[in-house]
Amino acid sequence: MTRIACLSDVHGNRHALEAVAGAVRAAAPDVVALAGDYAVNGADPAAAIDLVRELEAAGALVVQGNTDIAVADGDYGAAYPWLADGVPESYRTVAEWTAEAIGPERLAWLRRLPAERRIRADDGTLVLVTHASPGSQTAGFDPNLDPSVILDRLGRTDARVICCGHTHLPEVRDFGWKLVVNDGSAGYVFDGDPTASWALLDVVDGTVTAEIKRVPYDALAAADAVAARGLAGDVYRAATIRTGKLVR
């Protein structure tokens, strides 16, 4: 058996990541994978990145998310390609604040992260770790996608299992030939449950089982810290953390 823990979309929320990291350690996985978006939006991006790097030093596989590009390179077109009419000033402001808050060395680390990692389970089952979907850090498995688009995105990898985040909506979707495990968000979830989410997979003799896990944390403290920062858009970010629903 190979046990894999997946988490993503920390978004600078140290409180949530600490809670998830504790739950992951208790599950004793063989592999820990982190699928991007570590810094922007939350009030503690440096602390969040430092904890991610501690996990990496202990053997975790870490990939880059789209907002990591915004922070590390200021490339808003690459980070938010769906905003064809222009990236809101609040997005730019928080990315610039985050870049300054984490400093040059952490920025260099974010910049070096790969877009994807592959895990080969003991039985040979291939698991792809990516932020949004195979080959893309921005085109995710949104719940309302046209089936033809889903099939196209599934077909871009030979992996049996795709572990991802990006949508902030945790779910496990079995398409028969492929299994998509979206771990949701360890810090900025959108499904109305203001707890942190992650995913646990067991691979046994070609059979994959996956479960979304939820971890309570002090969401009010995390929200208050964002609100106290006072950047443009922080009132909405704080409300999102506090309620577990996207507020904008």
Task: State pLDDT tens for residues 149-180.
Answer: 999 999 999 999 999 999 999 999 999 999 99
- State the DSSP H helix or E strand holding residue 199, giving kind and residue range, or none if neither: strand 196-204
pTM of the predicted structure, to 2 decimals: 0.95
For residue 66, pLDDT over 90 is answered with yes
* Per-residue pLDDT, 123: 93
Domain boundaries, the chain: 2-243
For residue 84, pLDDT over 80 is answered with no
From 101, 130, 102, select the one nearest 115 (Cα to Cα).
130
Q: How far apart are CA 12 and CA 98, in angstroms?
A: 9
Q: How far apart are CA 166 and CA 130, in angstroms?
A: 9
Helices (H), the chain: 14-27, 45-57, 66-73, 76-79, 89-112, 147-154, 219-229, 234-243
For residue 143, pLDDT over 80 is answered with yes
Strand, coil or helix: what is 79?
helix
Helix then strand then coil, % of the chain, to nearest 5: 35, 25, 40
* Per-residue pLDDT, 181: 98
Question: Do residues 201 and 3 touch, judged by C-beta distance below 8 A?
Answer: yes
**Nearest-5° Cα angle at 223, 218 to 228:** 130
Measured in whole angstroms, the distance separating CA 17 from the mean position of its chain's CA atoms is 11
- 116-120 sheet: strands from edge to edge: 116-120, 126-130, 161-164, 179-182, 171-174
* Per-residue pLDDT, 119: 98
Return the bridge partners of 136, or none. 133
pLDDT in tens, 95-128: 999 999 999 999 999 999 999 999 999 999 999 9
Specify the CATH number for 2-243; select among 1.10.730.10, 3.40.50.720, 3.30.390.50, 3.60.21.10.
3.60.21.10
Q: How far apart are CA 129 and CA 131, in angstroms?
A: 7
* Per-residue pLDDT, 141: 97
Q: State the pLDDT confidence band at 85, using cuts at 50, 70 and 90.
A: confident
For residue 20, pLDDT over 90 is answered with yes
